[in-house]
Amino acid sequence: MRSDAIKKGAQSAPHRSLLNALGLTKEEMNKPLIGIVSSQNDIVPGHMNLDKIVEAVKLGVAMAGGTPIVFPAIAVCDGIAMGHLGMKYSLVTRDLIADSTEAMAMAHAFDALVMVPNCDKNIPGLLMAAARVNIPTIFVSGGPMLAGKVDGCKTSLSSLFEAVGAYNAGKITEEKLEEFENKACPTCGSCSGMFTANSMNCLTEVLGMALPGNGTIPAVYSDRIKLAKHTGMKIMELLEKNIRPRDIMTLDAFKNALTMDMALGCSTNSMLHLPAIAHEAGIELNIEMANEISAKTPNLCHLAPAGPTYIEDLHEAGGVYAVMSEINKLGLLKTDLITCTGKTVAENIKGCYNKNPEVIRPVENPFSETGGIAVLKGNLAPDSCVVKRSAVAPEMLKHEGPARVFDCEEDALEAINSGKIVAGDVVVIRYEGPKGGPGMREMLNPTSAIIGRGLGSTVALITDGRFSGATRGAAIGHVSPEAAVGGNIALVEEGDIIQIDITANTINFVISDEELERRRANWKPRQPKITTGYLARYAALVTSGNRGAILEVPKP
C-alpha cells in the first residue's frame, strides 16, 4: 500500500508518532488510509450539508475495513459571487482545488480517495485532481436542491435572476420580487435546475466515477446518506481491485460524457470542464467533436432553465442511468467500459428504464434530433464558441443584427437595464475571457436582464466570458481567441452586422478582409486589469476557453 511509506519499518517511526498524535490506534494504522476530501463550508448552500455526507462516507469506509481521514477543499458559490469582483475568483478556484488536493494526497501517502464536492468548480477541480493523482478514487456529491414554488409553479435561482430583470423593467412589483427571493431556494443543495453543478454531478455518473444517483438524489433525501455510506464501502473494493481514475476516464468515457451532455442539455460550462479533466488524464479532448456527437444525439431533457422540469423530476423519472439506457437504444454509448461500480456501463444500465416520458423524452420523440449544445465557428470566433442550443428560442437559432459593444459586464448590464438595448440587437461583451477578466466571469446578470425585459426571443449576447448553467436564450460564450490576446471579438465595432446561425454552427460579423486587417493593425493590447496576487498568476498561465481554460507553463 502507498501508506506503508509512513507506517512500516523503523524509518517510519517518526511518521507513526505523528499518527499516534492524531489518536490513531495500531489497528487503524494497519488498515488502508483513505483520504476523504470534504468541500463542506458554511457559505455555499450546496455545501452546508456535506458534514453529514462526510460522516456517512467515513462510516462506510470503516465498515469496509479502511481508516478514513478527512481533509478540506475550498468551494465558491457562483450565485453569491455573481455580478461583482467575486466572480473573477470562481473559475480560477478549479485549479486551486486540483492543486491543493494533489498536494494533500501525495504528501500524506493516502491509499485511495473519496471526493465529496457539490458545486460548480469543485466537482471538475476534484475530477482533475483524481486524474492527476491516479489512485483509486470515487465521488459522492451533496445532491441537488429541491425546486421552489411561486404561484403554484416550480422555480429556482435562475427564475430569481430573471425576476430582477422583470422588476427593473417594471413588469413585477417589489413584493413579487421578494416572494421569489424567499421561495426560490428552499433547501440546501446545488441549485435545482440543470445548471453547472448538477450537470457535472450527472456527468460524473456517466464518466463512471460515481455510483448511480449521485447526480440526482436530492440533498435532503435520506437516500443521499445511504449513497454516501455505499460510496465509502465501494472505495475499498476499488482499492482491492486497483481500479484507478485513468482506467475509468478513458477517451471513450469522455465521448460517452459528451453524448450524455447533449442528451441531458447540460450547462455550456461542461465544454470548459470536460477538456480540462481529460487533459489531466493525458487525453486531448477537442470540443469541436461535440458537433459531430450532437449531430447524431437527440436532446431528451429540457430541465430548467430550458424547460419546466427540475433535477428532482429527473430523479423520479429514473435518473441519469435511465437517460443512458434510452440513448443506448441508438447504440450511441460505448458500454464495455469499466466504472467505479466494478461493473461495465452495460451492466450498470441494464434494467434501467424511463419512468416519465414527459421528463425524459423517448428517442422516438425527442425535443430535438440534435444535442443540447452547439460549438460555433466563424470570423468572430475563429477557434470556436459555445451555446446551449436547447435553451434557445426557435426563432433565435438564426439571427442577424447590429453589434452593441461593451468592454465589461457592468457597462452592458447598465445599458440593458436602462432600455438602451432593443429587439434585434446583438450584445457583445468582451475583455471578460480567462486572461482578460481575468477569470472568465459568468454573465448570468446580463442574460437574465435580457430575459426579464422580454427580449429573450429577439436579442442575442456574445462574450469571451462564460455563462451560468442557469442562463437561457441566445447566449454565446467562450469566444476564442479572446479579446485580451487580440482575438477578432476585440475588432468588432458598434453597429457591425453580426450573423448567427446556430443550426449551421456559424458565427460571423460582416467585414471585408481589408477592413479586418486595418483594425487588427490598429489594435493594441490593454493593460491587465489585475496585476497582483493569484489572479495575476492565473492570467499569465491560462489558455483560451476552447482548450478548457487550462493552466499551461510557458515553454522555455
Output DSSP code: residue 210.
Answer: B
Joined grid coordinates for residue 324: 443512458
Question: What residues contact 61, with CB distance under 8 A and at least 6 apart?
Answer: 34, 36, 67, 68, 114, 232, 233, 235, 236
Alpha-helical segments (H) within 265-420: 270-280, 289-296, 311-316, 319-327, 345-349, 409-417
Half-sphere exposure of 281 (CA within 13 A, CB side): 28
Interior angle at CA 71, CA 67 and CA 72, nearest 5? 150
The residue behind cell 478513458 is 250
Q: Is 468 a catalytic residue?
A: yes
By CB atoms closer than 10 A (0-12, 13-18, 19+), residue 443 is: buried
Asked if 126 contacts 97 with a C-beta cutoff of 8 angstroms, the reply is yes
Peptide bond into 554 cis (omega under 30): no
DSSP sequence for 459-485 = -EEEESSB--TT--SSEEEEEES-GGG
Query: Which one of 158, 468, 480, 544 is the catalytic residue?
Result: 468
Closest CA to 475 of 240, 171, 204, 161: 161
CA–CA dist 113, 123 (Å, integer):
14
Active site residues: 468
